[in-house]
């Protein structure tokens, strides 16, 4: 009986230590995100020139988004959802904070919780032709870092694709448009020597319902592999004066099969 009590005491202590470790790591991670967010917002003096003439489908989407009457310099978005790194992985609960601007910039802080004990965090940025992602166990233990030209180009495509959440970006002068048909348009963004393209598909109401790109890469065991990327938008909502996607799924197209890796719900938006 005495031994059992000792074992129980040890288990309780381990649980408390682990909980404290998680709490400290999460607090440290959130403090880092806040610091980066402050710098991201304050360093917002970069001159951006916007197009005055746009394809009708883009103009119609911008009107629907309400961005004309709800301008901003930076958008802060919070998402809830699920994420998995590969088809065989279990779904993990996801909480994400994104900062987006009407230029080729983005900052993401993501928390993934696959079980009550283990929490992974990721910091992801794109700025001035450079992208990187840092992964942290419990918010403090580095477990990996991703960067390089392939990843940077893929992230530039993601910046452009997320113009659906960041409508002012779609007026950015460094984006070129090519109409494919009455419901689809190709957009190509330039940032220094880099460029990346996505295709936006619109419904009859003028809202974007699908986005795809051939310029994304997905992580594999030996590095990266080019893959077709796809986003489906299922609903829209009004957030701080803007009409933005509420529910969406992202997937990789692998061997002709669409593999969903992210299911997200936009929870809140703040215009700065």
DSSP character string of 38-107: HHHHHS------B-S---HHHHHHHHHHTTTTS--S-EEEEEEEEE-SSTTSPPEEEEEEEEE-SSSEEE
Look at residue 49 and tell me if it is in a domain: no
b or e along 18-30 (b: 16 or more beta carbons within 10 Å of the residue's beta carbon)?
A: eeebbeebbeebe
> What integer is the mean pLDDT of 61-87?
94
> Based on the structure, what is the number of domains in the chain?
1
Can you give the pTM of this predicted structure? 0.85
Which domain does 241 fall in, by range?
2-44+57-271
- pLDDT at position 143 is 78
pLDDT at 110: 93
Q: Which helix (H) or strand (E) holds 25?
A: helix 2-42
In the prediction, which pLDDT does 31 show? 54
pLDDT at 35: 54
Over range 78-84, report the average pLDDT: 96
Strand partners of residue 147 = 132
Predicted local confidence at residue 136, as pLDDT = 84
In percent, the amount of the chain with pLDDT more than 70 equals 81
Q: How confident is the model at residue 131, as a pLDDT?
A: 96
The verdict on residue 229 lying in a domain is yes
Predicted confidence at residue 9, as pLDDT, reads 46
Residue 76 covered by a domain: yes
> How confident is the model at residue 23, as a pLDDT?
42
- Largest Cα–Cα distance of the chain, in whole Å? 80
Question: Which position has the token pair 């009409």?
Answer: 243
Does residue 50 lie in a domain region? no
The CA distance from 244 to 240, in Å, is: 10
- Domain-embedded: residue 91: yes
**Domain at 150, CATH number:** 2.50.20
In a domain, 38, yes or no: yes
Asked whether residue 269 carries a pLDDT value surpassing 50, the answer given is: yes
The string of pLDDT tens digits covering residues 239-257 is: 999 999 999 999 999 888 9
Give the pLDDT band (50/70/90) at residue 220.
confident
């Amino acid at each position: 009986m005495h031994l059992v009590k000792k074992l129980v005491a040890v288990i309780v202590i381990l649980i408390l230590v682990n909980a404290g470790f998680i709490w400290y790591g999460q607090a440290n991670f959130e403090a880092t995100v806040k610091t980066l967010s402050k710098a991201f917002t304050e360093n917002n003096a970069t001159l951006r020139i916007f197009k005055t003439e746009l394809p009708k489908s883009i103009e119609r989407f911008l009107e629907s988004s309400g961005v004309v009457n709800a301008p901003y310099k930076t958008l802060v978005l919070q998402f809830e959802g699920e994420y998995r790194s590969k088809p065989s992985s279990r779904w993990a609960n996801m909480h994400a904070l994104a900062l987006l601007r009407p230029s080729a910039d983005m900052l993401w802080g993501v928390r993934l919780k696959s079980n009550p004990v283990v929490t992974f965090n990721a910091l992801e940025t794109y700025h001035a032709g450079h992208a990187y992602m840092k992964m942290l166990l419990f918010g403090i233990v580095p477990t990996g870092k991703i960067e390089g030209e392939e990843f940077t180009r893929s992230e530039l495509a993601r910046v452009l694709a997320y113009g659906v959440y960041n409508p002012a970006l779609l007026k950015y002068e460094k984006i070129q448009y090519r109409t494919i048909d009455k419901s689809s348009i190709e957009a190509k963004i330039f940032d220094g020597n880099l460029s990346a393209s996505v295709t936006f598909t619109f419904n009859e109401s003028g809202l974007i319902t699908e986005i795809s790109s051939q310029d994304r890469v997905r992580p594999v065991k030996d590095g990266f592999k080019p893959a077709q990327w796809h986003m489906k938008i299922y609903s829209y909502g009004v957030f701080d004066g803007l009409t933005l996607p509420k529910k969406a799924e992202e997937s990789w197209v692998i061997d002709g099969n669409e593999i969903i890796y992210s299911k997200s719900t936009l929870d809140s938006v703040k215009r700065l």
